[in-house]
Amino acid sequence: MSALRSFLAEGTAQRWLTGAAVLLSLGMILGLVLVVVEVAGSFFWPHPLVELELEDGSRLLGEIWDREPDPRAPGTQRVRIKVGNREVLGADFRWVRDASVRSRREPADAWLLERREYGNFFGFPERLESSDRRSEATSPDFAAALEDEVRAAGRLLDEDRGLRRKLDRLHAPVARLQARVNGALARGEQATALQAQLAEAQRREAEASLPLVQRLGEVHDLAGRARLIMRMAGGGEKAIVVSNIVRAVPPNALSTGARLTVYLDRWWEFLSGEPRESNTEGGIFPAIFGTALMVMLMTLAAVPLGVVTAVYLNEYARDNAFTAAVRLALANLAGVPSIVFGAFGLGFFVYTVGGGIDRLLYSDALPTPTFGTGGILWAALTLALLTLPVVVVATEEGLQSVPQAVRDGARALGATRWQTLRRVVLPYATPGILTGAILAVARAAGEVAPLMVTGVVKLAPTMPFDTTPPFLHLDRKFMHMGFHIFDVGFQSPNVEAAKPMVYATVLVLLVLVVVLNMAAILLRNRLRKRLRGAAV
């Protein structure tokens, strides 16, 4: 009994338990980071292509993704192999029991084709056919020829995209008129004059777009000519149109340097490219761009208001019931769940303000909403509300670090309150304000829930910033990295295949948020150090 009492009094067990809690917490964050880095970091590495011969004589070619105990036969293992060739095999993945594998090799002549449609293709090239040449896979210049053709197809694709963009621009006036006509009809109004205008616009569009459409046809024709004939591991040949190929590599034959090149190239494509196959392949550039633009807009709204609020509370207001109420409001802004802001943003910004703008300025298009539906501006404003307390708190810390004596000194020299603030206090508090802005940006970059109701989409056909006037389209919907993670990880038809992509997005988001937070922490530490050095 007394042994127990002294054991409890000494407190080693308690101390160790609390220490274990610290380690557990640190372990969780560390584990999270490690998992993400591991999965995302290795995803773009060109993995060897393995050819398996199974007991029934069939052959599979693909990348090994997982190995786990076979649930049906305890004690044995099975592997998950990505076999690709979706249009032929149906599913991207196959489970193969170790016991059923008769032989396994890594053929040097196996190629991996990353395609714009249908995902990856694994197989053995036979020959390359195009209008002007024919190159056997065995010929020494095959790789170069294929690369040539892929590049040529890429150029054609660029032209195709350019032509389509021009056609879109030609169609824009027609679309606008069409919306007005539709709106008028839906409201039960006369639309004869508008309809005449529409017909005229359509005629003009048809006229102007004729040569473009012709050229588009030619481009299509040209792009369809070069074909790569592939032999599949399971037998049979398949002709792949070269313009469908993004990248062709023989992973098993690559040197480490070449692998590294492919690895970096894939990362670059991921960061700078457009998404393919409903976001499960390709890049996330539109999501990165959407996130950045939305966050910028948010900063424009949140930082000035946050700084003004902090200045008011710290420099102008005396402590009274009103400032107490303001502080309580701020504390609640900081504690209110983000989705509540989303609900408010939808109800107020989108439906009330946006709906009002539509009735005033865009009544032509009604009932199709312009601003009366989710968009980047409303999302940014909603998040600005959310991040306002972050800015206020950091700015206040900055302001509080300015010694009162310095303010007195300025006032005693005959400076007005504003002059004191602008010439002495604000320069002093700048790191604090910056810290707040950075933290707000970090918070907003990772916040998803309010965006889901105020204008984020899984795939935006157009970016909120482009070359058509007025260049910045505040009414447009946008893509966002956080929502991308949710959407691809949960809503995409092929979650398993898309998972590593999501990990990569997670890594990018995580790096962004961590870097921003570290910057904020460093900045704040500098501020605190200076505060310690200054006369207080």
Partner 1 sequence: MSGDLPVLETRRLHVGFGSTEVLKGISVRALPRRVTALIGPSGCGKSTLLRCFNRMNDHLQGFWRRGEVLLEGREVHDPGLPLEALRFQVGMVFQKANPFPLSIRENVVFGPKLAGVTSASTLEQTLQTSLQRANLWEEVKDSLGRSALQLSGGQQQRLCIARALASSPDVLLLDEPASALDPIATAKLEETVLELAEQVTILLVTHNLQQAARVAGRTAFLYLGQLVEEGETESFFSAPREKLTEEYITGRFG
Partner 2 sequence: MSPLGPAHLRRSRLVDRVVAGAITTGGSLVLVAVTFLMVFLLAQCLPMLRGGDAHPERTVGASHEALAAFEDEYRERVTVLGRDGSLVTVDRAGQAAVGSLEGATPPLRQAVVSSPGDLLACEDASGALKVWSVRTAVRWGDAGRTISTEVTPTATLPGAASARILAVAGSAESPSVLLQADDGATLVSGEGAPARTLTLGAPAVAGALSHDAREAWLASASGLATFAVGDADPAAGALVATAPLGSPPTALALVLGDVTCLLGDASGMVTAWQVVSGPVAGSRVLDLAGRFPGTGPVRSIAISQRNKCFAVDRGGLVQIAHLTGRRVLVDVGSAPLDAVLVGLSRRFDGLFAVTGAGAVHRWRLDAPHPELSASVLFLPVRYEGYTKADLVWQSTGGSETNEPKLSLVPLIVGTLKGALYALLFSGPCALAAALYVSQFAPSRLRAVVKPVVELMAAVPSVVVGFLAALLVAPLVQRHIVGTLLMLIVLPAVVVGAAAVFQTLPGPWRRGLSTRSELLLIAGLLAAALVLCFTLDTAIEGALFGGDFKGWLLAAAGITYDQRNAVVVGFALGFAVIPIIFTLAEDAFSNVPPSLISASLALGATRWQAARTVAIPAASPGLFAALMNGLGRAVGETMIVLMATGNTPVLSLSPFNGMRTMAACIAVELPEAPHGGSLYRVLILTALLLFAMTFVTNTAAAVVASRLRKRFGRLAA
Looking at residues 229 to 268 of the shown chain, list those that interact with partner 1 (rule: CB under 8 A).
Answer: none
Identify what 330 binds: partner 2, partner 1, none; CB under 5 to 8 Å per kind. partner 2
To the nearest whole angstrom, how small is the minimum distance from the Cβ of residue 207 to partner 2? Answer: 31
Asked whether position 532 contacts partner 1 by CB under 8 A, the answer is no
DSSP 164-197: HHHHHHHHHHHHHHHHHHHHHHHTT---HHHHHH
DSSP 260-271: HHHHHHHHHHHH
Query: Site mask, partner 2, residues 478-497, x = CB under 8 A?
Result: ----xx-xx--xx----x--
Q: Backbone phi, then psi, for 225, in 5-degree steps?
A: -75, -40
Kindly tell me which of 25 and 416 has the beta carbon lying closer to partner 1.
416
Burial of 26 by CB count in 10 Å (0-12 exposed, 13-18 middle, 19+ buried)? exposed
Stretch touching partner 1 by CB under 8 A, among 33-41, 239-247, 422-430, 460-468: 422-430
To the nearest whole angstrom, how small is the minimum distance from the Cβ of residue 332 to partner 2? Answer: 6
To the nearest whole angstrom, how small is the minimum distance from the Cβ of residue 249 to partner 2? Answer: 28
Tell me the two tokens of residue 8: 């409890």
Query: Site mask, partner 2, residues 500-529, x = CB under 8 A?
Result: --x---x--xx--xx-xxx--x--------
Considering only residues 306 to 345 of the shown chain, the ones binding partner 1 according to CB under 8 A are: 318
Stretch touching partner 1 by CB under 8 A, among 23-31, 52-60, 108-116, 527-535: 527-535
Asked whether position 418 contacts partner 1 by CB under 8 A, the answer is no
Asked whether position 339 contacts partner 2 by CB under 8 A, the answer is yes
Stretch touching partner 1 by CB under 8 A, among 355-363, 365-373, 386-394, 401-409: 401-409
To the nearest whole angstrom, how small is the minimum distance from the Cβ of residue 150 to partner 2? Answer: 34
DSSP class of residue 465 equals: B
Gyration radius of the chain's alpha carbons: 30
Cβ contacts of residue 124 below 8 Å, gap of 6+?
107, 109, 110, 111, 137, 230, 231, 232, 233
To the nearest whole angstrom, how small is the minimum distance from the Cβ of residue 289 to partner 2? Answer: 18
Q: Which of 36, 146, 287, 497 binds partner 2 (CB under 8 A)?
A: 36
CA distances from 529 to 296, 417, 536 (A): 29, 26, 12
Euclidean distance between CA atoms 536 and 533, whole angstroms: 9
Cβ contacts of residue 82 below 8 Å, gap of 6+?
62, 63, 64, 65, 92, 93, 120, 497
Interface residue list for partner 1 (CB under 8 A): 318, 403, 405-406, 408-416, 419, 423-424, 427-428, 533-535
